[in-house]
C-alpha cells in the first residue's frame, strides 16, 4: 500500500476517478436467451479478466477490493460474489472481495461504497461491478417478504411489482401519457442503434462464449435485447400486462435480461502513479428514499441531494445517463427538472429500454456510457448517472469530465496531491 | 473417396455413442482498429453427455465430421468463411478413437476402412482452403490430438490435461497423421518422447503447458476465457497481425535434421527394447513409420499408416491391451468382484500398526497421508519405535522438499503418526494391522494381545504375504474381524492390495477393507485365503521354474533371458534379487509346504543365502552382468540343460497349470482378477493382458488344462478369424 490516506491524524480526502469500464453483451432472460445455461458468475469473471487485459499497467496485486452486486444472492450469484469472482478470474489470493445488493442500483452502490473507501484512504484501486442473470434468478425468486408489510400496510402490495409502480407513476403525473412514453421508447431504440452503428457500444463489450446442448459453442459479441427500427405503431399493439387499458408495456420498459458489468476506480494519485486513464472524476453521490409505490420517482430526490452535496445546480449538468427501467420514470424525472422529453443531453446512446436492464449490473453501464460521452464532448463539464431502485429509492452519482478545460482534478502527468483537497463547493 | 462412402462401415455400428459435430458461425472479434476479419465456422465435438462420458471417435462420428467439413470446404470455396475451428465439450477436445468399437473390427478390411476414414476426414480438415484451428480445451488423446495436429494452428488451455498419443501403449500407431506431422512440428526427439517414451512410461500424458512447451500448440490461454481468447488469437492470425512461432519445427530434408531424425529413432528403439523387450509389435511399428516417413510425402505416409493400423488392429496384443486397459484397469478395478455392499463399511477414525520396521513404517505413512487419521505404531522397544516414527517423519520431509506437499500438510501428517511401546494405544483404534515377523506363532501372539485391548468391533488385519490368515484367526475371540491386507513393495507406488477373506471374515469387515483400499487409492482384489494369494504364487511359480532349469544345468543367461518374449518388467533373477533372496526363499518354502513339488525349493539358492550373496548377477569389470566365480563356486548343477524355448514353454505351462488350479480352488472370482493382480501388483504388461490372454494365445492353457481361460474375442481376436498378419 503506497497511499497515506488512512491516518491516525490529519485525514485527507482523496479524489476518486473512473478508470475503465466494460460489460458483457446483454441477453434476453429465458430459455431462448443467449445466456440460457450460462452461469452468472462466469459472466462477471469475463468482465474482470478483460478489464485487467485492457489495463496492463495495473498490477493485479494492487487491487484492494472487488465489490460485485447482485439482487439475488444465491446459487450462481451466491457465495460472496466479489470474492468468488476474484478467485475465478485468477486475481491474486491477496485481493479481497465482497457482494453487495441494492437491487437495480447494485453496481452503482458497489462503485460509490468502494469510492468512499478510496476517498477515505482504505483503498487505492478497486473493481466494482454487478451481474444479474434474470433467467437463472427471476425477480423476487426465493424472497420471503415479511407479512408485516401487508398486515401493517407498510407498503402497498402493488409496490412489490415494479410494473405496478410504473402505472402508479402515470396516475401521479397524468400529463405523462402513453403516447409520450412510447415516443420516448422509440427514441431510445433509435439512439441506441445509432450509437452502435457509430461504434460507441461495441468497444466496451467483452465477447462471451457459450455452449448450448445440441448447438455447440458460439461467441456472443452483440447485445440481444435491442429492437432497432421500432415504431410508434409497433408499440401501440403491445399488451399492458400490469393493468387492463394501462400504459406500461414491454415496449416502453426495460426487459428481463442477463448481463454483467465491471469498472476500475482508483484514487486520482494512484491512477497517475500507475499510468491508468482518468475518464471521469467522482464529484458527489446520494441515495434517497421515496414511497415504494412510486419507486420510479426516486432519482428526483437523489439527484437533488447529490447536487446539493456538490454545490451544483441542475443547469450545471451537461449530460444525463438515466436508467430506463420505465419510460414513465424517466419522463417524471425530466418533467420535474423542466427538461424536454427529447433533450439531447439525455441518454445520448439510448438506454435500458433498448439495451436491457440486468438489474444489479446497470449502474456501471450508465457510468461507462457517460465516460464515452465525456470523451466525445469536452464542452461538457458535469454529468450524472441516476437510477430508480425497487422498494422506493433513487441513486445519483455526479461526475466531472477530465477533458473539459476547467477540469478541477489532476490529469495524467500532473501531481494529484495539490488538487486532492479542493472542495466541491468551490467548483 | 469422401466420408460418405464410409457409411458402409458406419452402419455396422448402429449403437455407437455418436460425438456430433455442431457448427456455429461466428463473427470474429475485430482486432484493434479493424473491422471483423469475417465469418468463422466453429465446430464443437459433443456427445451430449456429461463429463463422465468422454467424447470419442467412432465410424458414425467420423462420417458426420467428414460431412460437416466437406460442407465447410465448399463454403470456404465460395468465400463465405475465413477460417474453421474445432473445439470440444467441457474437459475434452475429444478423447480419441472409440476403442470399444475399434476392438470389434474383426475383419482386416473393416479396420483398414476405419483407418482410411480417419485420414479422409482429417485431410479435409487440413485442406479446407482456409486456415483451420484446433482449440484444445481439454483431453485430446490419440485420434483426438491428431485432429489438432491436422489443423493449421492450435491453441491449448493451461487447464487441459491428458494430451497424448498413447497408441504405442494401446497396441496401435498414431496413424491418423500424428506420426507424420508431430516430428515435423516439434522435432524428432520430442516426437519420440510423445509417441514412445510417454506411452511406455505408464502411459504418461502431457498437460497443456507441457504441450505448449514442446511446440504442439502455438498459443496458450487460461481456462476462464480460453475459447474467447483463442478466437481473438485466430482473428489476429487470419488478419496477419500475429503469426505462429514454431521454434521446434524442423525441415525433414535438411541434412542436420536427417541426422537428428535417425538418432531419435535409434534412441526410441533402445527405449522400446529396454521397456518391452520388443515383446509387442506396436512400438517398433511406430518407429518404423517414423523412420521411413522423413522422406515420404504425407500421402505416402498415410497409406503406410493405414496398412499398419489395419494390421495391428488384428493382433492379439492390441486386443489384450484393450481388455487389460478398458475392461480391467478402468472398469473391473472400480467394481471389485465379490466385494460386499459398501454400505456395510464402518468408519475408520484411528489406525494402529503393530511393528515399526520398514514395512510397518511404509504402512503408517500411507495411512496417515491418505486417510488423514491418527496412526499409532508400536514395537518392542523405544529405539525401534523412534526409528519407525523417524522414518515416517523423514519421508514426509522428503515430500515437502520435493514440494509434493505443503508445509501445513507435512505438519499435519507428521502430527498424525506417533509411536508407543505399549499396545494400550490401540484401545480406541478402528483398524489395527500387523507387520511383524512372518511367523505364524508370532502373529497369533500379537493378535491375542490385541484382543485384550481393542474394542470388539476393531478390525484386525495382517499384511502377511504367505501365512494362513485362517490359522491366524483360529484362537481369536472374534475371528470374524480378521482380514488379510496384502500390500506390495514399494507400498506408496504399487497400486494393488490383495484383500484376503478368511472363512469367518464377516461382510462388514470385508466391506470396510474395500472402502479402506479405495481411500488409500489402491485397487482391492478379493482373494481366498490360499498360500501366497495371487501375485506371489504366480511370481514364485515362474521363478521356481526358471531357477529349476538353471539348477538343472541351463546356463544362467539362457534361463534368465528365456522369458524375454513375454516382455516382463524384469528377468526372474533380477526380480529375485530385488525382492531379496531370503524373502523369496521363505515364500517358496511356504508354497512348497502348501502345494508340494510344483514349488521347488532350490538348494543352490539356499547356499547363496547362507553365504550372504544378495544377487546371482553382478556387474563385471566391463560393466556387463555376470555371475562372479565366488558365487558360481557355491552352487552345484545338473547335467540336463534346456534351451531358452524349452524354458519359456515350461514356464508357460507351469503358469497355465498354476492359474488353472487357482481358479479351481476359487482363489479369485475369475481369470480377470488374476490378470488385474498381475498388472497392478507385478507390473506385467497390458499386451499380455495380464497373463491369461497370453497363455491362451500361446496355447499353454489348451496344452495343460485342455481349455482356454477366456473365450476367444474377450482379449483376443474372435474365433474363426484368420490370424493377423
Cα gap B43→B111, rounded to integer Å:
26
How far does the CA of residue A106 sit from the closest CA of chain B (Å)?
24
Q: Where does the pLDDT of residue B477 fall: very low under 50, low under 70, confident under 90, or very high at 90 and above?
A: very high
Contact A214 B22 (CB under 8 A): yes
Question: Hey, is A125 helix, strand or coil?
Answer: strand
Interface check for B529 against chain A (CB to CB < 8 A): the answer is: no
Q: Please tell me which residue, B5 or A6, carries the higher pLDDT value.
A: B5
DSSP sequence for A208-262: EEEEETTTEEEEE-S-SS--TT--HHHHHTS--TTSTT-S--TTSB---EEEEEE
Name which of B116, B173, B166 is nearest B315 in CA terms. B173
pLDDT tens-digit readout, A125-173: 999 999 999 999 999 888 898 999 889 988 887 788 899 999 999 999 9
Contact A216 B27 (CB under 8 A): no
Interface check for B530 against chain A (CB to CB < 8 A): the answer is: no
Interface check for B223 against chain A (CB to CB < 8 A): the answer is: no
Interface check for A90 against chain B (CB to CB < 8 A): the answer is: yes
pLDDT tens-digit readout, B124-171: 999 999 999 999 999 999 999 999 999 999 999 999 999 999 999 999
The per-residue pLDDT of chain B, averaged, comes to: 95
Q: Where does the pLDDT of residue B2 fall: very low under 50, low under 70, confident under 90, or very high at 90 and above?
A: low
Contact B42 A219 (CB under 8 A): yes
DSSP sequence for B246-257: -TT---TTSHHH
Interface check for B43 against chain A (CB to CB < 8 A): the answer is: yes
Domain ranges in chain B are 3-312, 342-520, 535-666
Q: Which residues of B touch A50 (CB under 8 A)?
A: 225
Interface check for A216 against chain B (CB to CB < 8 A): the answer is: yes
In angstroms, what CA-CA distances link B158 with A206, B149, B161, B479?
A: 21, 18, 8, 53
Cα gap A147→A131, rounded to integer Å:
29
Q: Where does the pLDDT of residue A239 fall: very low under 50, low under 70, confident under 90, or very high at 90 and above?
A: very high
Q: Is it true that domain B535-666 has CATH number 1.10.10.10?
A: no
pLDDT for residue A307: 98
Question: Hey, is B376 helix, strand or coil?
Answer: strand
Interface check for B49 against chain A (CB to CB < 8 A): the answer is: no
Cell readout for B74 is: 465448399
Interface check for B84 against chain A (CB to CB < 8 A): the answer is: no
- A286, A292, A294, A296 alpha-carbon torsion, rounded to 10°: 40
Q: Which sequence positions of A are flagged as catalytic?
A: 104, 357, 388
pLDDT tens-digit readout, A66-120: 999 999 999 999 999 999 999 999 999 999 999 999 999 999 999 999 999 999 9
Contact A211 B89 (CB under 8 A): yes
Name which of B358, B349, B584 is nearest B457 in CA terms. B349
Q: Where does the pLDDT of residue A415 fall: very low under 50, low under 70, confident under 90, or very high at 90 and above?
A: low
Mean pLDDT calculated for residue range A362-371: 98
Res B274 pLDDT > 70: yes
Contact A49 B224 (CB under 8 A): yes
Q: Where does the pLDDT of residue B718 fall: very low under 50, low under 70, confident under 90, or very high at 90 and above?
A: confident
Task: Report the residue of B27, B228, B231, B233 to disrupt the A interface, i.e. the one with the largest count of A CBs within 10 Å.
Answer: B228
**B619 burial level (CB within 10 Å; 0-12, 13-18, 19+):** exposed
Res B1 pLDDT > 80: no
Could you tell me the pTM of the whole model? 0.93
Q: Which residues of B touch A214 (CB under 8 A)?
A: 20, 22, 46, 48
Least CB–CB distance from B24: residue in A49, A50, A218: A218
Contact B43 A207 (CB under 8 A): no
Topology alike, domains B3-312 and B342-520: no
pLDDT for residue A15: 97
Question: Hey, is B233 helix, strand or coil?
Answer: helix
Res A419 pLDDT > 50: no
Res A60 pLDDT > 50: yes
Residue A289 neighbours by CB under 8 Å, 6+ apart: A298, A301, A392, A393, A394
Interface check for A214 against chain B (CB to CB < 8 A): the answer is: yes
In angstroms, what CA-CA distances link B360 with B283, B452, B541?
A: 40, 21, 27
Res B265 pLDDT > 70: yes
**B302 burial level (CB within 10 Å; 0-12, 13-18, 19+):** buried
Res B267 pLDDT > 50: yes
Interface of B with A in 22-41 (CB under 8 A): 22-24, 26-27, 29
With beta carbons less than 8 A apart as the criterion, state whether A279 and A20 touch. Answer: yes
pLDDT for residue B32: 67
Interface check for B89 against chain A (CB to CB < 8 A): the answer is: yes
DSSP sequence for B179-196: HHHHHHHH-HHHHHIIII
Q: Which residues of B touch A215 (CB under 8 A)?
A: 22, 24, 44
Contact A90 B224 (CB under 8 A): yes
Cα gap A169→A303, rounded to integer Å:
18
Contact A208 B228 (CB under 8 A): yes
Interface check for B90 against chain A (CB to CB < 8 A): the answer is: yes
Contact B26 A214 (CB under 8 A): no
Residue A132 neighbours by CB under 8 Å, 6+ apart: A40, A70, A71, A72, A77, A106, A257, A258, A259, A260, A358, A359, A360, A361
Name which of B530, B517, B420 is nearest B459 in CA terms. B517
With beta carbons less than 8 A apart as the criterion, state whether B577 and B615 touch. Answer: yes
Cα gap B188→B294, rounded to integer Å:
10
Residue B353 φ then ψ, to 5°: -125, 120
With beta carbons less than 8 A apart as the criterion, state whether A309 and A426 touch. Answer: no
Q: Where does the pLDDT of residue B3 fall: very low under 50, low under 70, confident under 90, or very high at 90 and above?
A: low
Contact A217 B42 (CB under 8 A): yes
Cα gap B589→B451, rounded to integer Å:
30
Res A52 pLDDT > 70: yes
Cα gap B320→B303, rounded to integer Å:
26
How far does the CA of residue A215 sit from the closest CA of chain B (Å)?
6
How far does the CA of residue A50 sit from the closest CA of chain B (Å)?
9
Contact B224 A214 (CB under 8 A): no
pLDDT tens-digit readout, B605-631: 999 999 999 999 998 778 788 899 999
Least CB–CB distance from A209: residue in B20, B22, B228: B228
Asked if the bond preceding B490 is cis, omega within 30° of 0, the reply is yes
With beta carbons less than 8 A apart as the criterion, state whether A30 and A135 touch. Answer: yes
Cα gap B66→B62, rounded to integer Å:
6
Q: What 8-state DSSP symbol labels residue B379? A: -
How far does the CA of residue B314 sit from the closest CA of chain A (Å)?
36
Superfamily of domain B342-520: NAD(P)-binding Rossmann-like Domain (3.40.50.720)
pLDDT tens-digit readout, B305-327: 999 999 999 999 999 999 999 99
- Tell me which chain B residue has its CA closest to the CA of residue A50: B225
Residue A28, CB-side half-sphere exposure with 13 Å CA sphere: 12
Interface of A with B in 13-52 (CB under 8 A): 45-46, 49-50
Mean pLDDT calculated for residue range B12-25: 95
Q: Which residues of A touch B90 (CB under 8 A)?
A: 211
Question: Hey, is A277 helix, strand or coil?
Answer: coil
Contact B27 A207 (CB under 8 A): no
pLDDT tens-digit readout, B25-61: 999 987 766 777 899 999 999 999 999 999 999 999 9
Residue B311 neighbours by CB under 8 Å, 6+ apart: B108, B285, B724, B725
Question: Hey, is B351 helix, strand or coil?
Answer: strand
Res A1 pLDDT > 70: no
- Tell me which chain A residue has its CA closest to the CA of residue B230: A209
With beta carbons less than 8 A apart as the criterion, state whether B575 and B543 touch. Answer: yes
Res B201 pLDDT > 70: yes
Separation of first and last alpha carbons in chain B: 26
Mean pLDDT calculated for residue range B554-558: 95
Cα gap A48→A43, rounded to integer Å:
9
How many CB atoms sit inside 10 A of residue B422's CB?
10
Least CB–CB distance from A216: residue in B29, B43, B232: B43
- If you count residue pairs, one on A and one on B, with CB atoms under 8 Å apart, how many are there? 60
Contact B48 A215 (CB under 8 A): no
ipTM of the complex model: 0.93
pLDDT for residue B125: 96
Cα gap B567→B679, rounded to integer Å:
13
Separation of first and last alpha carbons in chain A: 30
Question: From the CA atom positions of chain B, what is the Rg in Å?
Answer: 29
DSSP sequence for B128-163: SSS-EEEEE-SEEETHHHHHHHHSSEEEEETT---E
User: Quick one: CATH architecture of B3-312?
Assistant: Alpha-Beta Complex (3.90)
With beta carbons less than 8 A apart as the criterion, state whether A422 and A319 touch. Answer: no
pLDDT-wise least confident of B27-41, B87-101, B116-130, B404-418 = B27-41
Cα gap A115→A126, rounded to integer Å:
8
pLDDT-wise least confident of A2-11, A200-209, A336-345, B569-578 = A2-11
In angstroms, what CA-CA distances link A142 with A42, A72, B414?
A: 21, 8, 47
How far does the CA of residue B408 sit from the closest CA of chain A (Å)?
17
pLDDT for residue A7: 63
How far does the CA of residue A40 sit from the closest CA of chain B (Å)?
13
Q: Are strands A257-267 and A16-23 parallel, antiparallel or unpaired?
A: antiparallel
In angstroms, what CA-CA distances link A370 with A184, A345, A399?
A: 19, 11, 9
Q: Where does the pLDDT of residue A10 fall: very low under 50, low under 70, confident under 90, or very high at 90 and above?
A: confident
- Tell me which chain B residue has its CA closest to the CA of residue A211: B89
Cα gap A275→A278, rounded to integer Å:
9
Res A427 pLDDT > 50: no
Contact B26 A218 (CB under 8 A): yes
Task: Report the residue of A24, A45, A198, A216 to disrupt the B interface, i.e. the one with the largest count of B CBs within 10 Å.
Answer: A216
- Tell me which chain B residue has its CA closest to the CA of residue A91: B224
**A315 burial level (CB within 10 Å; 0-12, 13-18, 19+):** exposed
pLDDT for residue A23: 98
pLDDT for residue B622: 80
In angstroms, what CA-CA distances link A194 with A220, A358, A377, B230, B684?
A: 20, 22, 17, 30, 71
Q: What 8-state DSSP symbol labels residue B206? A: B
Q: Which residues of B touch A45 (CB under 8 A)?
A: 224-225
Interface check for B224 against chain A (CB to CB < 8 A): the answer is: yes
Res B114 pLDDT > 60: yes
- Tell me which chain B residue has its CA closest to the CA of residue A203: B32
How far does the CA of residue B23 sit from the closest CA of chain A (Å)?
7
Name which of B472, B471, B438, B464 is nearest B363 in CA terms. B464
Cα–Cα–Cα angle for B71, B72, B76, rounded to 5 degrees: 120
Cα gap A170→A96, rounded to integer Å:
44
pLDDT for residue A410: 81
Amino acid at each position: 500500500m503506497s497511499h497515506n490516506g488512512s491516518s491516525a491524524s490529519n485525514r485527507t480526502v482523496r479524489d476518486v476517478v473512473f478508470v475503465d469500464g466494460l460489460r458483457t453483451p446483454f441477453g434476453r432472460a429465458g430459455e431462448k436467451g443467449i445466456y440460457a445455461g450460462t452461469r452468472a458468475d462466469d459472466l462477471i469473471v469475463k468482465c474482470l479478466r478483460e478489464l485487467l487485459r485492457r489495463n496492463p499497467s495495473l498490477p493485479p496485486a494492487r487491487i484492494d477490493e472487488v465489490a460485485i452486486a447482485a439482487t439475488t444472492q444465491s446459487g450462481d450469484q451466491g457465495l460472496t460474489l466479489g470474492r468468488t469472482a476474484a478467485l475465478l478470474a485468477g486475481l491474486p489470493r491477496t485481493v479481497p472481495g465482497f457482494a453487495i445488493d441494492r437491487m437495480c442500483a447494485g453496481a452503482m452502490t458497489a462503485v460509490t461504497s468502494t469510492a468512499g473507501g478510496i476517498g477515505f484512504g482504505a483503498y487505492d484501486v478497486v473493481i466494482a461491478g454487478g451481474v444479474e442473470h434474470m433467467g437463472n434468478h427471476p425477480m423476487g425468486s426465493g424472497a420471503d417478504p415479511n407479512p408485516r408489510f401487508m398486515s401493517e400496510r407498510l407498503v402497498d402490495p402493488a409496490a412489490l411489482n415494479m410494473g405496478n409502480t410504473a402505472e402508479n407513476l402515470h396516475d401521479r403525473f397524468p400529463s405523462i401519457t402513453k403516447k409520450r412514453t412510447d415516443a420516448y421508447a422509440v427514441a431510445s431504440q433509435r439512439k441506441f442503434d445509432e450509437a452502435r452503428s457509430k461504434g460507441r457500444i461495441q468497444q466496451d463489450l467483452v465477447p462471451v462464449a457459450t455452449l448450448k446442448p445440441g448447438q455447440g459453442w458460439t461467441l456472443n459479441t452483440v447485445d440481444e435485447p435491442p429492437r432497432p427500427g421500432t415504431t410508434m405503431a409497433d408499440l401501440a399493439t403491445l399488451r399492458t400486462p400490469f393493468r387492463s387499458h394501462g400504459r406500461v408495456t414491454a415496449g416502453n420498459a426495460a426487459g428481463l435480461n442477463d448481463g454483467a458489468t465491471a469498472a476500475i476506480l482508483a484514487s486520482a494519485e494512484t491512477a497517475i502513479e500507475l499510468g491508468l486513464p482518468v475518464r471521469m472524476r467522482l464529484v458527489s453521490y446520494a441515495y434517497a428514499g421515496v414511497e415504494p409505490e412510486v419507486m420510479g420517482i426516486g432519482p428526483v430526490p437523489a439527484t437533488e441531494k447529490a447536487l446539493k452535496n456538490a454545490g451544483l445546480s441542475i443547469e450545471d449538468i451537461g449530460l444525463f445517463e438515466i436508467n430506463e427501467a420505465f419510460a414513465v420514470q424517466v419522463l417524471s424525472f425530466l418533467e420535474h427538472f423542466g427538461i424536454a422529453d427529447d433533450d439531447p443531453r439525455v441518454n445520448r446512446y439510448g438506454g435500458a429500454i433498448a439495451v436491457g436492464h440486468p438489474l444489479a449490473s446497470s449502474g456501471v453501464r450508465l457510468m461507462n456510457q457517460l465516460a464515452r460521452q465525456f470523451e466525445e464532448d469536452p464542452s461538457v463539464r458535469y454529468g450524472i448517472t441516476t437510477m430508480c431502485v425497487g422498494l422506493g429509492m433513487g441513486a445519483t452519482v455526479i461526475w466531472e469530465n477530465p477533458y473539459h478545460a476547467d477540469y478541477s482534478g489532476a490529469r495524467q502527468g500532473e501531481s494529484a496531491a495539490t488538487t486532492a483537497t479542493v472542495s466541491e463547493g468551490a467548483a | 473417396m469422401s466420408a460418405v462412402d464410409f457409411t458402409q462401415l458406419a452402419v455396422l455400428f448402429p449403437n455407437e455413442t455418436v460425438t456430433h459435430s455442431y457448427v456455429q458461425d461466428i463473427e470474429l472479434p475485430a482486432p484493434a482498429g479493424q473491422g471483423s476479419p469475417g465469418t468463422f465456422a466453429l465446430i464443437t465435438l459433443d456427445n451430449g453427455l456429461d463429463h463422465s462420458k468422454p467424447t470419442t471417435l467412432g465410424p458414425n462420428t467420423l462420417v458426420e465430421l467428414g460431412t460437416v467439413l466437406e460442407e465447410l470446404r465448399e463454403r470456404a470455396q465460395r468465400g463465405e468463411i475465413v477460417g474453421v475451428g474445432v473445439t470440444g465439450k467441457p474437459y475434452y477436445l475429444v478423447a480419441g478413437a472409440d476403442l470399444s468399437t475399434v476392438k470389434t473390427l474383426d475383419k482386416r478390411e473393416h479396420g483398414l476402412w476405419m483407418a482410411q476414414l480417419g485420414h479422409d476426414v482429417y485431410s479435409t480438415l487440413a485442406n479446407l482452403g482456409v486456415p483451420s484451428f484446433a482449440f484444445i480445451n481439454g483431453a485430446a488423446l490419440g485420434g483426438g490430438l491428431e485432429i489438432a495436429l491436422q489443423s493449421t494452428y492450435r491453441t491449448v488451455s493451461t487447464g487441459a490435461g491428458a494430451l497424448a498419443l498413447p497408441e504405442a501403449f494401446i497396441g496401435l500407431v498414431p496413424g491418423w497423421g500424428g506420426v507424420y506431422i508431430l516430428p515435423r512440428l516439434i522435432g524428432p526427439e520430442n516426437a519420440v518422447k510423445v509417441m514412445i517414451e510417454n506411452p511406455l512410461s505408464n502411459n504418461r500424458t502431457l498437460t497443456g503447458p507441457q504441450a505448449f512447451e514442446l511446440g504442439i500448440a502455438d498459443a496458450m490461454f487460461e481456462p476462464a476465457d480460453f475459447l474467447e481468447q483463442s478466437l481473438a488469437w485466430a482473428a489476429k492470425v487470419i488478419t496477419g497481425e500475429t503469426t505462429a512461432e514454431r521454434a521446434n519445427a524442423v525441415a525433414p530434408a535438411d541434412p542436420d535434421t536427417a541426422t537428428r531424425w535417425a538418432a531419435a529413432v535409434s534412441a526410441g528403439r533402445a527405449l522400446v527394447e529396454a521397456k518391452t523387450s520388443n515383446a509387442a509389435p506396436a512400438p517398433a511399428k511406430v518407429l518404423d513409420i517414423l523412420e521411413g516417413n522423413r522422406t515420404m510425402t504425407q500421402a505416402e505416409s498415410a497409406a503406410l499408416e493405414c496398412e499398419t493400423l489395419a494390421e495391428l488392429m488384428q493382433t492379439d496384443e492390441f486386443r489384450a491391451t484393450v481388455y487389460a486397459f478398458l475392461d480391467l484397469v478402468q472398469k473391473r478395478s472400480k467394481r471389485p468382484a465379490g466385494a460386499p455392499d459398501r454400505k456395510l463399511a464402518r468408519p475408520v477414525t484411528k489406525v494402529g500398526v503393530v511393528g515399526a520396521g520398514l514395512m510397518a513404517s511404509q504402512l503408517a505413512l500411507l495411512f496417515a497421508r491418505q486417510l488423514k487419521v491418527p496412526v499409532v505404531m508400536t514395537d518392542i522397544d523405544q529405539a525401534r519405535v523412534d526409528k519407525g516414527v523417524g522414518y515416517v517423519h523423514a519421508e514426509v520431509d522428503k515430500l515437502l522438499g520435493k514440494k509434493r506437499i505443503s508445509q501445513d500438510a507435512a505438519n499435519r501428517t507428521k502430527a498424525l503418526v506417533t509411536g508407543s511401546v505399549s499396545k494400550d494405544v490401540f484401545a480406541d483404534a478402528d483398524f489395527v494391522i500387523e507387520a511383524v515377523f512372518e511367523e505364524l506363532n508370532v502373529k497369533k501372539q500379537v493378535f491375542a494381545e490385541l484382543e485384550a485391548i481393542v474394542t470388539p468391533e476393531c478390525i484386525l488385519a495382517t499384511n502377511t504375504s504367505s501365512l494362513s490368515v485362517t490359522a491366524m484367526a483360529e484362537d481369536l475371540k472374534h475371528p470374524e474381524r480378521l482380514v488379510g491386507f496384502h500390500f506390495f513393495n514399494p507400498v506408496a507406488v504399487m497400486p494393488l492390495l490383495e484383500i484376503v477373506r478368511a472363512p469367518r471374515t464377516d461382510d462388514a469387515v470385508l466391506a470396510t477393507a474395500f472402502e479402506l483400499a479405495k481411500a488409500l487409492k489402491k485397487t482391492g482384489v478379493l482373494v481366498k485365503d490360499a498360500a501366497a494369494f495371487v501375485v506371489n504364487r504366480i511370481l514364485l511359480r515362474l521363478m521356481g521354474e526358471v531357477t529349476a532349469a538353471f539348477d538343472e544345468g541351463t546356463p544362467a543367461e539362457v534361463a534368465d533371458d528365456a522369458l524375454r518374449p513375454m516382455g516382463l518388467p524384469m528377468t526372474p533373477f533380477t526380480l529375485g534379487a530385488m525382492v531379496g533372496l531370503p524373502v523369496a526363499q521363505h515364500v517358496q518354502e511356504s508354497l512348497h509346504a502348501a502345494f508340494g513339488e510344483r514349488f521347488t525349493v532350490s538348494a543352490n539358492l539356499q547356499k547363496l543365502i547362507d553365504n550372504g550373496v544378495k544377487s546371482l548377477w553382478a556387474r563385471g569389470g566391463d560393466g556387463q552382468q555376470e555371475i562372479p566365480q565366488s558365487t558360481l563356486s557355491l552352487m552345484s548343477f545338473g547335467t540336463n540343460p534346456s534351451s531358452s524355448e524349452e524354458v519359456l514353454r515350461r514356464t508357460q505351462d507351469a503358469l497355465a497349470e498354476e492359474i488353472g488350479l487357482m481358479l479351481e480352488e476359487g482363489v479369485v472370482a475369475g481369470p480377470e482378477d488374476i490378470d488385474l493382480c498381475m498388472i497392478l501388483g507385478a507390473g506385467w504388461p497390458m499386451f499380455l493382458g495380464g497373463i491369461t490372454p497370453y497363455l491362451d494365445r500361446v496355447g499353454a492353457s489348451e496344452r495343460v488344462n485342455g481349455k482356454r481361460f477366456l473365450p476367444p474375442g474377450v482379449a483376443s481376436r474372435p474365433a474363426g478369424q484368420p490370424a493377423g498378419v
